[in-house]
Chain A
Amino acid sequence: MQSFTWINAKSIEEVKGALAKHGKKARIFAGGGDLTTLMKERIDTPEFVVNIGDVKDIHYIREEKDGLHIGAMTILADLAEHEAVLGRYTALAEAAGAVASPQLRNMGSIGGNLCQRPRCWYYRGAFHCYKKGGDFCFAVTGDNRYYHSILKGELCYMVHPSDTAVALLALDARITIAGPQKEKTVKAEDFFIGPRQDVLRENILQPAELITEIVVPTPPANTRSTFLKTRIRGSWDFALASVAVRCTAKNGVCQAARLALGGVAPVPLRVERAERALAGKKITRELSQQAAQLATAGARPMTMNRYKVDLTRSLVEKALLAVA
């Protein structure tokens, strides 16, 4: 690990101050579940590390009139076990509970989970690829069996690693960002950006900005949601593919649905074509199969990950039948 200066911030103002002062040389340290590894491997070598673990006011889960408010520093284990989250925002509780392992869920924050860096093993290894400012993607000709896209890849073919992001898209969440400018709130799906927009980042955050809160709107009546994930082992592993769905249904007829995929694209991917196919229809096995086809339409698997197409379709089908 390269030496660095540790800044233990006590308030959002202090975090903002430190970030504004050190700009690109600083990183936020939440649970450290990802940042520590990046620093140990010298993939990221910040000079200043700003700990937000001791910042009050960003550790909370509150259900208010407009929905669920989650402080950025809330740990995943709390989200996974929270009664209201389990009850009305099920996909999020399930996604948080499907992250990594119990130890990592006890340390990892929702903010950190959304801002974690790619797991592409070329990025994590000694390869100077696009993502690191190089001019090549090693995964295209190399080994792309697990951590690479079947949809929306260009330049960089990483898949976004966050499980909670997929659930937040399906639940139509908003993300609150603080920084040198006025606080702003963006839709979850607008928070994440693909490589074409900026290959060096995975989201819109500027160096001096941070997430402070996530708000999940109260779901309409008769709404259920779920998150499903396939991984190699029962614990620890990232998604080979995942799906989150939120569906409002009456007598088995879908009124509105939101569907998002994980593990298949450089961003958590909302698939509106599939959503539209569901609206106003009774959810049957055939319809879910159709939606699954639409969700993966246009898939361009890489040399080693064709299986992800089948896998994603099975997950979509299963998830839809589960919430219908």
Chain B
Amino acid sequence: MAAMKQIIVEGKTYTVEDESAALQGEGGTMLAPWGKNETLKYVGKRFPKKVAREKVTGEAKYAYDVQLPGMLHARVLRSSHANAKLLDLETSAAEKLPGVRAVLSHKNAGKQPWDRERAVFKDHVRLIGDDIAAVAADTEQIADDAVRLIKVKYEVLPHVIDVREAMRPGAPKLQPYGNIWEGKPKVYERGDLAKGFAAADVVLEETYTTSEQHHACLEMHGCVAHWQNGMLTVWDSTQGVHLTRDLLALKLRLPISKVRVLNEHLGGGFGSKNGVKEYHVIAAMLSRATGSPIRLFLDRFETFLLSSHRPLTIQKIKAGFKKDGALTAIDYEVIGRGGAWNDRGMYWAAPAVGSPTNELYKCPNLRTTNIPVHTNLSSPGACRGPGNTENLFALEQFMDEAAEKLDLDPIALRLKNFTAVYQPKNEPYFSNGLRESYEAAAKTFGWQRRKPKSTVEGTKRRGIGMSAVHWHGFEGEPSQALVTIYPDGTVEVNVGIANLGVGAQVIFAQIAAEEIDVPLEMVRVAYGDSAGTPYTINSSYGSRTTFQGGPAVRMAAADAKQQLIALAAETLKVPVADVQYAGGVFAAKSQPEKKANFKEVTGKLGWMQGRHLLIGKGKRLPNPAGRKVDIFGAQMVEVEVDTASGNVKVLRAVLAHDSGRPINTLTYESQVQGGFIQGLGMALYEERILDAETGVQLNANYHEYGCPTALDIPDQVTVVPIETHDLSNNINAKGLGEPPVTGAGGAIANALYNATGVRIRDYPITPSKVLQALRAAV
């Protein structure tokens, strides 16, 4: 049992686990977090990603590029109706097409389940895109032609696409419990709402909607699967090799040891490539049926249709404030559009939305009502900063509206409601750099020059706005890493991760180089293969890769170093306690002339010396109990609105982020910039557009979907790292990949208001909405 201690936060005493004791690693190694002012050699510096060159030159090979001898190509026949029963399915013409090697459907593969309510191949389809049959053929062209030869007779059933319509009585009922997930809204409450509103001087209520943003990964979703001699090997476009492996083993009832998943490079994930989808199982089944490797990639249209998306949300916020800005009550409701099936997508549809409302501002009386609604569509999923992004796009506009009504500066209102305590569990945060983020962003941006109205030049109006940033940290799941030291002195960090593209490889190398004290070039990171790597992370989601894996890597490196010192002691013929290591040299403290350099010591390793390799093992334990990890920040933007065209251009942005210790300041910057740009896309351009009648997606291609181009992003995106000294783990990291998306919408919408005096509460803020709002305001 670790030691407990008492700390005082905002005048109250909390009993928490002592961090130094809690951070004890495997085998008794004590590894306290790096000190606040500790001088570090590699950590906190700029290093390019290890794979940057390969990617830019095109040498990088993605799962999409994998070509195996004898490989066949697969295509899937998908439902063209949003709700229908299959009356008849005729595959013989497809089977007869020369070059076709296998055709699977519910007729011959009906027993393969997908989840508790459906099979992989459906005989009752509930959305456009549901899998009906699959073909493996010599070429993709033949497979595609064959799929079109399959005849389906449907009994078309009523469907529902609109989320409000789905909530009405009499709407087609999609699940036995109705269209609201599991029968009723999920409610979280604290305090006394009525009392809170009664105490308010000002009450404000507004409704906001956010659109369905796609992940829009450059590399499409798919895999190459080879089932050979009872062993399934999958080259997967995935964020996590271990999660894909475990789920495939489960779905196909294979021993985990008989499934191997590989991923060296990934062309985008953003939350859409966690775990397995039907196509993984279909590729495996076709490989089993044909004995050949199967390549099954979705095309661009299917990727939009089926790879999941951020949910559409309708959020109603009602809040009471004292004259000085103090919140007295919040009543929040979110309706989220879910899919037809009862799967994890329903959680992302609404229950995941709302944590900033619950947590970011001190408010004793609060109710959050989450209403996930089934419709005849594909399921939403986690999309970079899921939930918090949708919520902050609404909440941060709301706070701006409240500040105006209360005649307060937007930052002053936010500071008035600052809290250092995680309210749902009444636990203090390990660290909270929100205050510092506001201050630093304001200073860098020049916030004090904000005018209540815009500057005007012809049809151009300029304005500025800001938003808070918030993301939830994790409790620290088990994570393992290995560090091997070879006889030539090179170091290999062995981690079980895929390559999401966040730069984890260079970050893990920096951590190992730091701990062992070897040059960074000596360290290589082995990853991307579920066989032969430890369980570092199941999949890279939640901004956890560094936060989870980093401490384990540091622990493994420390373990390796301990062993090296023992080896040095043997080499120098002195007791272990007498050995010190610095600058590549081991020396005896008692007899400084007794020394050996790094390679002399590692040279004692290996079979030629009759010795094992040196393998350091590291484990990450949970965060010390009693405190919460959350991630904060503040974003400020200046926009220019053309009142003639309705175009909104973000001219500059300042992004201050508290993510604990920045491990690599270069990848830190690019993560924050990239995340913000993705948020900008959601704020101004991106949305899944459906035909209201049929549910067919009308803009399921890159061109029409409309991610921001190089011309649409500001020339100046300044990143200001706020370095809080977080003690939740031994590398002081909190997580960074997702939070930068969350602030973009609020900041841009507020700047638009500052520029034009019109509020657009319905994202994305397109020229047509701006023009309509301006016309209405005249």
Q: Which A positions have Cβ atoms within 8 angstroms of B?
A: 1-3, 101, 121-122, 125-127, 138, 141-143, 145, 230, 232-237, 240, 304-307, 310-311, 314-315, 318
Contacts and interface: CB of A to CB of B under 8 A. Distances in A.
Contacts of A101: 709
Given A310-B771, A310-B775, A126 B696 contact: yes
A305 B772 CA distance: 10
B644 A318 contact: yes
A127 B645 CA distance: 31
B459 A143 contact: no
A306 B772 contact: yes
A138 B692 CA distance: 11
Nearest to A228: B645
Contacts of A307: 646, 767-768, 771-772, 775
Contacts of B644: 311, 314-315, 318
A41 B553 CA distance: 48
Given A126-B80, A234-B709, A240-B767, A143 B703 contact: no
Interface in B333-369: none
Nearest to B301: A41
Nearest to B148: A42
Contacts of A314: 459, 644-645
Given A230-B645, A307-B646, A310-B771, A121 B704 contact: yes
A126 B128 CA distance: 12
B693 interface: yes
B141 interface: yes
B679 to A, nearest CB: 16
B685 interface: yes
A311 B710 contact: no
A141 B693 contact: yes
A233 B677 CA distance: 14
Given A145-B768, A318-B644, A121 B698 contact: yes
Interface string B704-732: 10101111100000000000000000000
Nearest to B768: A307
Given A232-B647, A235-B710, 11 more contacts: A230-B645, A232-B685, A235-B712, A236-B703, A240-B768, A304-B768, A306-B772, A307-B775, A311-B645, A314-B644, A315-B644
A14 to B, nearest CB: 27
Interface in B681-710: 685, 689-693, 696, 698-699, 703-704, 706, 708-710
Interface in B610-656: 644-647
B141 A305 contact: no
Contacts of A127: 696
B337 to A, nearest CB: 17
Contacts of B690: 143
A55 B370 CA distance: 63
A237 B693 CA distance: 26
B646 A311 contact: yes
Contact of A143 (B685, B689, B709): B689
Interface centre among B645, B693, B772 (most CB of A within 10 A): B645
Contact of A235 (B144, B145, B711): B711
Nearest to A138: B691
Contacts of B645: 230, 311, 314-315
B665 interface: no
The bracket for how many chain B residues form the interface is 20 to 34
Nearest to A237: B706
Interface centre among B698, B706, B767 (most CB of A within 10 A): B698
Contacts of A310: 771, 775
B168 to A, nearest CB: 20
B704 to A, nearest CB: 7
A145 B687 CA distance: 13
B766 interface: yes
Contacts of B685: 232-233
Contacts of B689: 121, 143, 145
Given A121-B698, A145-B768, A305-B768, A230 B691 contact: no
A143 B145 CA distance: 31
A240 B771 CA distance: 12
A143 B767 contact: no
Nearest to B128: A126
22 contacts: A1-B141, A101-B709, A121-B699, A125-B691, A125-B696, A125-B698, A145-B689, A232-B706, A232-B767, A233-B685, A234-B710, A234-B711, A235-B710, A235-B712, A236-B703, A236-B706, A237-B706, A307-B767, A307-B771, A311-B644, A311-B646, A315-B645
A311 B693 contact: no
A143 B694 CA distance: 11
B97 to A, nearest CB: 12
Given A1-B141, A143-B689, A233 B768 contact: no
A140 to B, nearest CB: 12
A240 B768 CA distance: 9
Interface centre among A1, A234, A235 (most CB of B within 10 A): A234
A80 B673 CA distance: 33
Contacts of A304: 768
A52 to B, nearest CB: 24
Contacts of A315: 644-645
A230 B698 contact: no
A141 B694 CA distance: 12
A233 B691 contact: no
Nearest to A3: B141
Contacts of B696: 125-127
Contacts of B711: 233-235
B708 to A, nearest CB: 7
A237 B685 CA distance: 11
Contacts of A240: 767-768
B694 to A, nearest CB: 8
Contact of B691 (A142, A235, A237): A142
Nearest to B643: A314
A122 to B, nearest CB: 7
B775 A233 contact: no
Q: Rank and list the top 3 A-B pairs by shortest CB-CB distance, nearest first.
A: A234-B711, A314-B644, A121-B698
B706 A143 contact: no
Interface in B645-672: 645-647
A142 B710 contact: no
A232 B775 CA distance: 18
Given A306-B772, A314-B459, A314-B644, A122 B698 contact: yes
B706 A233 contact: yes
Contacts of A237: 706
Contacts of B772: 306-307
B692 to A, nearest CB: 7
A3 B693 CA distance: 33
A305 B768 CA distance: 8
Contacts of A234: 709-712
Contacts of B767: 230, 232, 240, 307, 311
B712 A233 contact: yes
Interface centre among A138, A235, A236, A306 (most CB of B within 10 A): A236
Interface string B577-605: 00000000000000000000000000000
Contacts of A235: 709-712
Contacts of A141: 693
Nearest to A142: B691
Nearest to B773: A307
Contacts of A138: 691
Given A125-B698, A142-B692, A236 B709 contact: yes
A40 to B, nearest CB: 9
Nearest to B649: A234
B31 to A, nearest CB: 49
Nearest to B708: A233
Contact of A232 (B693, B710, B766): B766
A236 B689 CA distance: 18
A230 B692 contact: no
Nearest to B690: A143
A99 B644 CA distance: 21
Nearest to A229: B645
B129 to A, nearest CB: 12
